[in-house]
Amino acid sequence: MTVIWNPTLDDNAARWQALAHKLGSERFAPLAPELDREQRYPWETISALVEHKFTGLFLPTQWGGQGANLVATVAVVEALGTHCASTAAIMCAYQLGAFPLLLAGTDEQKSFYLREMAEGRATSFALSERIAGSDAAAIEATAVREGGGWRLRGEKYWIGNGGASRYYVVFAKTDPTAGGRGISAFMVDKEQPGAVIDELSDKMGIRGTQTSNLKLDLVVPDSAQVGELNRALRLALQTLNVGRIMVAAQSLGVALAGYREAAVRAVSRRTFGQPIGDNQAIGFRLADMATEISAARMMLYQAAQAYDRQEDVSNLGAMAKLFASEVSHRVVDNTVQIWGGLGYCKPTVAERLYRDQRILEIYEGSSEIQRLVLSRAVRKEAEELAI
């Protein structure tokens, strides 16, 4: 797609991206309609991701990973998303579970859990609850001292890869009186007694992924604690800063897939003796799609590069996630419109993309939360300028 702006990737990132496209076109895209229809978790896809080292792509080599930077990782997620949005979402869930350990785990925790992840036994990020999504400080799960460890009680919800993952980074209140300053994180193995997954979400889109709850009434040892006591909300937000860039990459994959479907339809479908793309009403839609995708892509790769330079990406990541997810919304909406009645019906790719896209404006922080983050940053900057 030469009309769409393409990032300049180094050899390593380009190699990973090319492999993702090859696997996507040969193995993941043909499976996508079945996964959507049956809402089935694709263990055969996981086997392929493990075989080709994608599950350890972003993990340091010393912990069994491939040591790829964030630019290479988002290039892979974006590429996978052009073929199967569910596969891209699974890759995002792997990353989200790994980053608390990468940021704050002990060497022993990294050595065990990250190696497990590289071999396909994933860790999931368990922060949200039924009443606490955007307001993470309002979680009600608790961790209370018991014997030589911590008794965790509560229920987590909206867990990406939930039920399919073996391990969970669970956030719980260790000081219920301190609000967001009283939250800690702990590693939980779903196989241990007292960990129960008994609900899988019946989702509109990305139906090849698995989203679950996790009920907890169990004791974990002190060695299960991740990071500082009572400081895990900050760890969660640092993780989400990276997660938002990953969702921006997923959004670009969906948008590129929608653009491809719309552009091909516009030249192959004829009405009144000419391709529908020759009508300005359609041609101008495609021009806007190409422009917005290019702009979102530039923002995505700038955010990934900034992270790789160890810069603060809290604002740029929020912008990338906000803009890319909303661009993907507009693109797939136009894709359905260009496909017309067929685009509204199963089993067209346009119809599936329309459903797959919608979650991108909700998870890892809704569009409203991104705007809240950015509006606070604008206010802080303006106050400093006014002094």
Q: CA–CA separation, 364 vs 158, rounded Å?
A: 11
Average pLDDT over residues 40-51: 97
Shared domain check, 283 and 337: yes
Instruction: List, in order, residues 6 or more apart from 336 with CB less than 8 Å away.
Output: 343, 344, 350, 351, 354
Domain CATH code at residue 194: 2.40.110.10
pLDDT, tens only, 219-239: 999 999 999 999 999 999 999
Shared domain check, 128 and 118: no
Q: pLDDT band for position 387 (50/70/90)? A: confident
Which of 168, 172, 169 has the alpha carbon at shortest distance from 180? 172
Q: pLDDT band for position 346 (50/70/90)? A: very high
Mean of per-residue pLDDT scores for the chain: 97
Q: CA–CA separation, 354 vs 357, rounded Å?
A: 6
The token pair that represents 94 in the structure block: 């792997």
Shared domain check, 155 and 170: yes
For 26-63, b where at least 16 C-beta lie within 10 A, e where not — what string? ebbbebbbebbeebebbeebbebbbeebbbbbbbeeeb
Would you state the pLDDT for residue 2? 83
Shared domain check, 362 and 282: yes
pTM exceeding the 0.75 threshold for the entire prediction: yes
Any domain includes 6: no
pLDDT, tens only, 93-107: 999 999 999 999 999
Shared domain check, 268 and 163: no
Any domain includes 36: yes
Would you state the pLDDT for residue 297? 98
Domain CATH code at residue 34: 1.10.540.10
Average pLDDT over residues 373-378: 97
Shared domain check, 46 and 167: no
Give the residue from 230, 245, 268 where a domain finishes: 230
Domain CATH code at residue 334: 1.20.140.10
**pLDDT surpassing 80 at residue 321:** yes
Q: CA–CA separation, 104 vs 229, rounded Å?
A: 11
Please, are residues 245 and 294 in contact by the beta-carbon 8 Å criterion?
no
Would you state the pLDDT for residue 69? 98
Shared domain check, 348 and 238: yes
Average pLDDT over residues 353-367: 97
Catalytic residues: 364
Would you state the pLDDT for residue 261? 98
Shared domain check, 323 and 269: yes
Within 13 Å, how many C-alpha atoms sit on residue 376's CB side? 8
State which residues form the domain around 134: 124-230
Average pLDDT over residues 245-268: 98
If one counts the domains in the chain, the total is: 3
**pLDDT surpassing 80 at residue 18:** yes
Q: CA–CA separation, 211 vs 145, rounded Å?
A: 30
Shared domain check, 264 and 294: yes
Q: pLDDT band for position 133 (50/70/90)? A: confident
Q: CA–CA separation, 73 vs 78, rounded Å?
A: 9
**pLDDT surpassing 90 at residue 243:** yes
Shared domain check, 108 and 40: yes
Would you state the pLDDT for residue 1? 52
Give the residue from 195, 230, 265 where a domain finishes: 230
Shared domain check, 375 and 259: yes
Shared domain check, 311 and 220: no
Give the residue from 96, 122, 148 where a domain finishes: 122
